[in-house]
A and B are shown apart, each in its own frame.
Chain A
Amino acid sequence: MIPTLLGITIVVFAISRMAPGDPVSLSMGPGGMMDAQRAADVRAARMKLYGLDKPVYVQYAIWLGRVARLDFADSIKHHRPVIDLIKERLPVTLTLNLISFVIIYAVSIPMGILSAVGRKKFLDRAGSVMLLMLWSLPSMWVGQMLIGYLCGPPLNWFPPAGLSSNDAEQFPFFQWLADRLWHLVLPVFCLTYAGFAYLTKQVRAGMLDNLRADYVRTARAKGLSNWAVIFHHAFRNSVIPIITILATLLPAMFGGSVIIERIFSVSGMGLLAFEAVTTRDYNVVMGVATIAGVLNLFGLLMADIAYAMVDPRISFESAV
């Protein structure tokens, strides 16, 4: 765990230092206004200020120390501490992703089981292709099409942007909640459909394999009813790979957030990252990358622990 954590920080730091140019030159601009000597002095002073004159590993150590205290310096564009910006935006992204997760798992698992148990050969194949089509839809296209067709006139079913209407603060609680949910529908849908397609296919594949397993034959030979065999035996074994999928879904959804938040103008961490990259706000970029990595790692750890709880063949020590 700890080494992986350190590894993430090293990767992020290395990228920032490997880039051509450095923050000082960029913040100084072409410098046509000053004469050469003065420019050199200012540059040296700035380098000293940012600690860029020290050797790389010392810079890393300093940076790491600050990161441990959650100090990512200030945003160049907003002139506020990066960590404050992240604190504001993170809950939005987390809410969005969590809701999507719950929906994905709640819908995919029954669908996957049903499609594995159902029998028609043609429906099988057609359903599989449909799921693949759903997975192949690019999220930015879906988002933009939804906005284009559902949000403008004449339909006006959903709002095209933001998380709340403009005068939302004045609403009583339930109305505020309803308004929030109304705004969330399209972004959540865009985040969900791909994960849903993927997970349903995996559940289905896992169930199909497990239903052919020997221990299922034993369970039937004991006289268990069909449902008991499916849920109690086959599904219980299929749960294991489903949890592992959590590990792959997480980073995909973080990445998807960037696109969705940009399209729907939702002020989350994804949008923050997007704006930071566009405006070359390095401190924010590095802060966001590190936090995203840490969150991802946390999610992987949860998945590993869940895995150990569900599969008696794995012991806790080997997981962590």
Chain B
Amino acid sequence: MGENKQQKTWGTSYGEMVWKEFAKSKFTLCWLGFIILLFLLAIFAPFLANDKPFVIRIAGQLHWPIFKALTASDYSIFLAGIVALVQFLLVLRNRRCVDPSIRAGVLWRQITISVFIVLVGIILLFVFIPRRLDATDYKSMVASGKATGAVFAPIPYGFGRTDLKVREQPPNRQHWLGTDDVGSDVLCRLIHGSRISLSVGFVAVGISSIIGIIIGAILGYSGGKTDFLGMRLVEIMMAVPVFFLIITIVAFFPRSLFNIMLIIGLTTWTDDARFVRAEFFKLRRQDFVQAAVSLGLPLRSILFRHMLPNAIAPVLVNATFGIAGAIFIEAALSFLGFGVAPPTPSWGQILSLGVSTTGRFLWWLTLFPGLAIFFTVLAYNLVGETLRDAIDPRLRESV
């Protein structure tokens, strides 16, 4: 205990140096804030835009409709958000005060805490999961006086609700951003649509990064015949125009959110593979790798514990650009009608309604979702570029 107290700081870690460089640009920090705001929007979407009230008094009894109607996906997102937050706080707390020799133990402790939270969350899920769909029209109950004391969400519309009486209305006092062709409130759909966009971004990039890293590591490390054959495979993937391939796949397979994430992930891994392969080529000849090999360490340990942390920089940078790209592809697919099916909200889908079937230009259905896509993609691109310059300006030519 005494020894820990003596050495309070261990100098600046790589992550801290990158952060310091990154934080020099206040402009980019604002956009990072925007991304965090988007995350909060996505996590708390059911509380921001919902046609059920938080609390309502019916016949003298208090009911909590929103909480009763949360879906499994809502819960999973909350859980993911809490775990991410806890991890982040733990990392911050342990940053300076941990002796590197016991850092591995701390990491295990963090993982255990996260697993614990996930388990508790799953248990709670089973307790609270709604058994039936709640289709009560609370608003008419309030209007007709059957219920009192209702507290609605700030945007009191659900994304699944259609109301043909108010279709295609420009922005007005009831619907701040207008309504779409079936009467759903645009603002509500935008907020819920952020979930789709963000989740597609992360899952697709996660899939493509993992595939890219594994293939790149194996090719870069092996060299020779394996590398030759593998590179032919990579070239084939690169030779196919990606968007055409995605459309082709979408044509043949059923439409679902997960399919889209998978498809985007499966078609965009080539860049990561190339970067990791190039880095591994350089690292292979370095002494610490030779030392690891001579000690007889298993291949997966050499590749992923020793070499990979040194090669990860371009992958991280490419990941941020990849998220922007995945969001764009999903929006484009939804715009063309190949994305997620309604009533699931998607920014691209709202955009496609901008020109009605009669040829009228419905500006509110074009401007707002377009701005949403634009700002989100821009935010990730800006953050990615600043990150790249912070990590290593020499990456500018390749990434």
Binding site for B on A (CB under 8 A): 3-4, 7-8, 11-12, 15-16, 18-20, 128-129, 132-133, 135-141, 144-145, 147-149, 152, 205-206, 209, 241, 247, 250-252, 254-256, 258-259, 262, 273-274, 276-278, 280, 282, 285-286, 288-289, 292-293, 296-297, 300
Q: How far is the CB of A92 from chain B (nearest CB, A)?
A: 16
Give the chain B neighbours of A4 by CB distance below 8 A.
Answer: 232, 235-236, 239
Q: Are A250 and B374 in contact (CB under 8 A)?
A: no
Q: Are A8 and B240 in contact (CB under 8 A)?
A: yes
Q: Are A285 and B243 in contact (CB under 8 A)?
A: no
Ranked nearest first, the 8 interchain pairs of A and B with the lowest CB-CB distance are: A255-B243, A19-B252, A141-B370, A7-B236, A251-B241, A148-B361, A136-B378, A277-B251
B91 within 8 A of A: no
Q: Are A140 and B335 in contact (CB under 8 A)?
A: yes
Which residues of B in the span 343-399 have a Cβ within 8 Å of any Cβ on A? 348, 351-352, 354-355, 361, 363, 366-367, 369-370, 373-374, 377-378, 381-382, 385, 396-397
Give the chain B neighbours of A138 by CB distance below 8 A.
Answer: 328, 331-332, 351, 370, 373-374, 377
Which residues of B in the span 305-357 have a Cβ within 8 Å of any Cβ on A? 324, 328, 331-332, 335-338, 348, 351-352, 354-355
- A274 and B332 CA atoms in complex are apart in Å by 12
Q: Are A285 and B251 in contact (CB under 8 A)?
A: yes
Q: Are A254 and B247 in contact (CB under 8 A)?
A: no
- A15 and B235 CA atoms in complex are apart in Å by 18
CB-based A-B contact count at 8 angstroms: 149
Q: How far is the CB of B310 from chain A (nearest CB, A)?
A: 23
Give the chain B neighbours of A147 by CB distance below 8 A.
Answer: 355, 361
Give the chain B neighbours of A247 by CB distance below 8 A.
Answer: 238
Q: Are B332 and A288 in contact (CB under 8 A)?
A: no
B253 within 8 A of A: yes
Q: Is the interface of B mostly helix, strand, loop or mixed?
A: helix
- A132 and B230 CA atoms in complex are apart in Å by 34
Give which listed residue, B241, B338, B361, contacts A255 with CB less than 8 A.
Answer: B241
Give which listed residue, A7, A285, A300, contacts B233 with CB less than 8 A.
Answer: A7
Which residue of chain B lies nearest to A274 when distances are taken between CB atoms in the complex?
Answer: B336
Q: How far is the CB of B52 from chain A (nearest CB, A)?
A: 32
Q: Are A144 and B233 in contact (CB under 8 A)?
A: no
Which residue of chain A lies nearest to B245 when distances are taken between CB atoms in the complex?
Answer: A289
B242 within 8 A of A: yes
Given contacts A4-B232, A209-B397, A255-B244, contact A136 B250 (CB under 8 A): no
Which residue of chain B lies nearest to A280 when distances are taken between CB atoms in the complex?
Answer: B251
B27 within 8 A of A: yes
- A241 and B381 CA atoms in complex are apart in Å by 21
Given contacts A8-B239, A250-B241, contact A209 B396 (CB under 8 A): yes
- A19 and B251 CA atoms in complex are apart in Å by 9
Q: Are A144 and B370 in contact (CB under 8 A)?
A: yes
Q: Are B366 and A148 in contact (CB under 8 A)?
A: yes
Give the chain B neighbours of A145 by CB distance below 8 A.
Answer: 366-367, 370
Q: How far is the CB of A201 from chain B (nearest CB, A)?
A: 9
Q: Are A136 and B241 in contact (CB under 8 A)?
A: no
Q: Are B250 and A297 in contact (CB under 8 A)?
A: no
Binding site for A on B (CB under 8 A): 27, 232-233, 235-236, 238-245, 247-254, 324, 328, 331-332, 335-338, 348, 351-352, 354-355, 361, 363, 366-367, 369-370, 373-374, 377-378, 381-382, 385, 396-397
- A144 and B370 CA atoms in complex are apart in Å by 10
Give the chain A neighbours of B351 by CB distance below 8 A.
Answer: 138, 140-141, 144
Q: Are B27 and A129 in contact (CB under 8 A)?
A: yes
Which residue of chain A lies nearest to B240 when distances are taken between CB atoms in the complex?
Answer: A293
Q: Are A296 and B239 in contact (CB under 8 A)?
A: yes
Give the chain A neighbours of B233 by CB distance below 8 A.
Answer: 7
Q: Is the interface of A mostly helix, strand, loop or mixed?
A: helix
Q: Are B354 and A144 in contact (CB under 8 A)?
A: yes
| Most chain A beta carbons < 10 A, residue from B251, B348, B382 | B251
Given contacts A4-B232, A15-B249, A15-B252, contact A148 B354 (CB under 8 A): yes
Give the chain B neighbours of A16 by CB distance below 8 A.
Answer: 252
Given contacts A138-B332, A255-B242, contact A205 B397 (CB under 8 A): yes
Give the chain A neighbours of B352 by CB distance below 8 A.
Answer: 140
Give the chain B neighbours of A274 by CB distance below 8 A.
Answer: 247, 336
- A149 and B397 CA atoms in complex are apart in Å by 38
Give which listed residue, B235, B370, B378, contacts A133 with CB less than 8 A.
Answer: B378
Q: How far is the CB of A6 from chain B (nearest CB, A)?
A: 9
Give the chain A neighbours of B248 by CB distance below 8 A.
Answer: 12, 15, 277, 285-286, 289
Q: Are B244 and A300 in contact (CB under 8 A)?
A: no
Given contacts A4-B239, A137-B374, A140-B332, contact A282 B363 (CB under 8 A): no
Give the chain A neighbours of B241 by CB distance below 8 A.
Answer: 250-251, 254-255, 292-293, 296
Q: Are A8 and B236 in contact (CB under 8 A)?
A: yes
Can you list 18 A-B pairs with a CB-CB distance of less than 8 A?
A7-B235, A11-B245, A15-B248, A129-B382, A132-B378, A136-B324, A136-B374, A138-B328, A144-B366, A145-B366, A152-B361, A209-B397, A259-B335, A277-B338, A285-B252, A292-B241, A293-B244, A296-B240
Q: Are A136 and B249 in contact (CB under 8 A)?
A: no
Give the chain B neighbours of A259 by CB distance below 8 A.
Answer: 332, 335-336
| Most chain A beta carbons < 10 A, residue from B241, B243, B245, B253 | B241
Q: Are A273 and B332 in contact (CB under 8 A)?
A: no
| Most chain A beta carbons < 10 A, residue from B248, B324, B335, B396 | B248
Which residue of chain B lies nearest to A296 when distances are taken between CB atoms in the complex?
Answer: B241
| Most chain A beta carbons < 10 A, residue from B240, B355, B363, B367 | B240
Which residue of chain A lies nearest to B335 when distances are taken between CB atoms in the complex?
Answer: A140
- Contacts A8-B236, A19-B252, A147-B361 known; list 4 others, CB within 8 Å: A7-B233, A273-B244, A285-B252, A296-B241
Q: How far is the CB of B390 from chain A (nearest CB, A)?
A: 14
Q: How far is the CB of A161 from chain B (nearest CB, A)?
A: 10
Give the chain A neighbours of B252 by CB distance below 8 A.
Answer: 15-16, 18-19, 282, 285
Given contacts A18-B252, A141-B370, A280-B251, contact A206 B240 (CB under 8 A): no
Q: Are A278 and B324 in contact (CB under 8 A)?
A: no
- A276 and B36 CA atoms in complex are apart in Å by 40
Q: How far is the CB of A79 from chain B (nearest CB, A)?
A: 19
Given contacts A11-B236, A141-B366, A259-B336, contact A277 B250 (CB under 8 A): yes
Give the chain B neighbours of A258 by CB distance below 8 A.
Answer: 243-244, 247, 336
Q: How far is the CB of A128 from chain B (nearest CB, A)?
A: 8
